[in-house]
Structure 1
Amino acid sequence: MTSQKPQRHLPLAAAVCAALLFALPACAQPAAVTPASVGEAPAKVEKNSTTGIAKLTLTEHGLSRIDLQTATVAAGAGSDVLLPYASLLYDANGKTWVYTNPAPRVFERQAVTVSKVESGVVTASQGPAVGTPVVTVGAVELFGAEFNTGK
């Protein structure tokens, strides 16, 4: 003998499943494109034909998407400079770089000669001048934009 009670909830369960089924694809839709970002690349990349290093100019939207943060280069002993370790990038050959911020929304990669790393601070014998802002969060995204690694 079977009970009729569970079968009464069947239409309700089917309705809930159908509602969920139709709602889920909407969750997977890409975010709406804002009019300001239509046709505008998040970064303008201008390669220097002599050095091969690019100057990157980010749009306001591009800048906000990567939550970019900077810190200032400090003076070390003698001619050394001090940088946050978070600003340091290594390329495929092991060469060390940082991204400087010479103007609002403008970023340029600059070579750094590391003397030592201690307690999250890089002592460099060559690098950006004291007082130069360097990128501490978002440098990897800038590197990707410079070398077009996202495609």
Structure 2
Amino acid sequence: MSTTDRTIDRKVGAALVAAALALAPAACKQAEAVEVEHYQASKITPGEDGEHPTVTITKLAAEQVGLETAPVEKTEEGTSIPYESVLYDAAEGQPYVFINPEGLTFHREDVDIASIDGDTVQLSKGPAVGTKVVTVGLPQIHGSELEFGAY
């Protein structure tokens, strides 16, 4: 390699390094914005008069947890939901579900269980027929309600 070729290689290399350094702040800001959006996966709206808060999650959060819901169904005995949608309050043992009233918004609602038959729970008290309850992604919605942060 001639001296001229080495000089050209050094100049090209220096130009590439300068260009990379010039782009680095913009790339860092873009990466920070993506990171902030990722970690702000939910918004908590406090409940009124002792009610549980409402959780709103981002589309990205819903995709990451594979969020799924199922409707409350009418049966001869009353209403039923999938067993996988039920959580129990650790302090009092009260069963509850997270309902999905609209979009990516969720709210805890207490239920009374009449019976459990395999994967189906018969309710004596709970959400109205057709109301969607969370079946997949339940721990993440619950964690968001408790403000445990991102997924």
Same fold per TM (> 0.5)?
A: yes
**Cα shift at 1:104:** 0.8
Alignment CA distance shift 1:115-1:33 (3 Å): farther
What whole-Å deviation, never above 9, does each CA across 1:54-112 have from its counterpart, x for those lacking one? 1111111111111111111101225x210000100111121101011110111111110
Q: Secondary structure at the match of 2:61?
A: helix
**Contact 1:68/1:135, CA 8 A, preserved across alignment:** yes
How far, CA to CA, are the matches of 1:150 and 1:107 in structure 2? 16
Q: Distance in 1 between matches of 2:59 and 2:32?
A: 13
Alignment of 1:2-151 (within 5 A): 33=31, 35-38=33-36, 41-77=40-76, 80-92=78-90, 93-149=92-148
Q: Give the alignment's TM-score, normalised by structure 2.
A: 0.71
Tell me the TM-score normalized by structure 1.
Answer: 0.71
Structure 1 stretches lacking a partner, 5+ long: 1-31
- 8 A Cα contact 2:42 2:149, kept in partner: no
The percentage of counterpart residues that share the same residue type is: 32
Which runs of 5 or more residues in structure 2 are unaligned?
1-29
Alpha-carbon distance in structure 2 between the residues aligned to 1:141 and 1:89: 12
Q: Which has the higher helix share?
A: 2
